[in-house]
Amino acid sequence: MAEKIQIGVLGSGTMGNGIAQIAATQGHDVIIVDNNEEALVNASKKLQKIFTRLVEKKRMTTEEMQASISRTTYTTDFESLSNSKLIIEAIVEDLNVKQQVFEKLENIVSEDCILATNTSSLSVTAVASGCKKDSRVLGIHFFNPAPLMPLVEIVPGLATDEQTLQNAKQIIDSWGKTVVIAKDTPGFIVNRIARPFYGESIRILEEGVADVATIDWALKEYGFRMGPFELMDLIGNDVNYKVTCSVFAAFFYDQRYKPSFTQQRLVEARRYGRKSGHGYYSYAENAQKPEA
């Protein structure tokens, strides 16, 4: 197990909360910062629920659950990240917002704090570009659901130094994850390959080759763990659409990565997938009203 440093997580959504769960389970103190109070309350409740389920399934003891919960702090106060040694940012997939947040973080954290972005598609080099010490910034890209998915892509930006890369890798290795180091190119490895996978699935749907459930079923029968539409609903259609648009632009509008109207309309209708209760499928039983 790695040294018990304080881990900061920025963003308490799907990914931030999953990353926080891993870090707390690994014995770290975890500070989760979000600018949305409601998101923090929901995330905290969700984490409690997940831990309770793990206890029921005897995958953790009640004492371990209580210890993990007591190690996590949910707050809107950025200043509380001042003692963190690694901060993993998992906020909205928007370059300007991420750049602003990284610049802000630099004024709060200590010299030796590693700053990581969980971006799926943006340039790590660009995210780091406004930082005075850009050598400490890199990509640490978890997959959804973070606690269950073994793979983590670690992406050094143009300015990232070797020590930062090795220190980050050591921490993520110690969490039992499988690390692959990828060059800072749009979508890195997995998301680059995944773009045409989702895109072609939507095109097949639009051409009327088969319906959503049939395409998902066929792919699963073929050996995929989840169908493309189930997966997009899990990722969040808002997040997935943003990633598609960003990879499309980053490849100078190469048609292979072109987004679709179907995806765009779902986002406009706030049919984000599981998290909003509707997406390609309906999850009406535990539907939550999407944020405005």
Instruction: Please list every residue from 230 through 289 that binds ligand NAI, using CB under 6 A.
Output: 235-236, 239, 243
Q: Give yes or no: 63 in active site.
A: no
C-alpha distances in angstroms, 226 versus 135, 222, 230? 38, 10, 6
- Say which amino acid occupies 46: K
Of 6, 21, 119, 263, the residue at the interface with ligand NAI (CB under 6 A) is 119
Q: Give yes or no: 120 in active site.
A: yes
Q: Which is nearer to ligand NAI, 97 or 193 (CB)?
A: 97
**Exposure letters 81-90 (e unless 16+ CB within 10 A, then b):** bbebbbbbbb
User: Is the link from the previous residue into 259 a cis peptide, with omega within 30 of 0?
Assistant: no
DSSP label of 214? H
Shortest reach from residue 155's CB to ligand NAI, in Å: 12
Q: In what order do the strands lie in the sheet with 137-142?
A: 72-75, 29-33, 6-10, 86-89, 114-117, 137-142, 151-156, 178-181
Number of residues that bind ligand NAI (CB under 6 A): 28
Residue nearest to ligand NAI (CB): 13
By CB under 6 A, tell whether 124 contacts ligand NAI.
no
The one catalytic residue among 68, 84, 118, 191: 191
Of 22, 24, 39, 127, the residue at the interface with ligand NAI (CB under 6 A) is 39
C-alpha distances in angstroms, 125 versus 75, 102, 137? 28, 12, 8
Q: Which is nearer to ligand NAI, 194 or 215 (CB)?
A: 194
By CB under 6 A, tell whether 92 contacts ligand NAI.
yes
Q: Which stretch binds ligand NAI (CB under 6 A): 34-42, 126-134, 152-160, 194-202?
A: 34-42
By CB under 6 A, tell whether 137 contacts ligand NAI.
no
Q: Which is nearer to ligand NAI, 159 or 190 (CB)?
A: 190
Shortest reach from residue 145's CB to ligand NAI, in Å: 8
Contacts (Cβ under 8 Å, ≥6 apart) of 208: none
Cβ pair 228, 217 in contact under 8 A: no
Q: Give yes or no: 278 in active site.
A: no
By CB under 6 A, tell whether 120 contacts ligand NAI.
yes
Q: Which residues pair with 86 in a beta bridge?
A: 7, 114
**Cα(first)–Cα(last) distance of the chain, in Å?**
41
Of 8, 9, 16, 51, the residue at the interface with ligand NAI (CB under 6 A) is 16
- The enclosing H or E element of 42 equals helix 37-56
Per CB under 6 A, residues contacting ligand NAI are 10-16, 34-36, 39, 90-93, 97, 101, 118-120, 141-144, 235-236, 239, 243
Active site residues: 120, 141, 153, 191
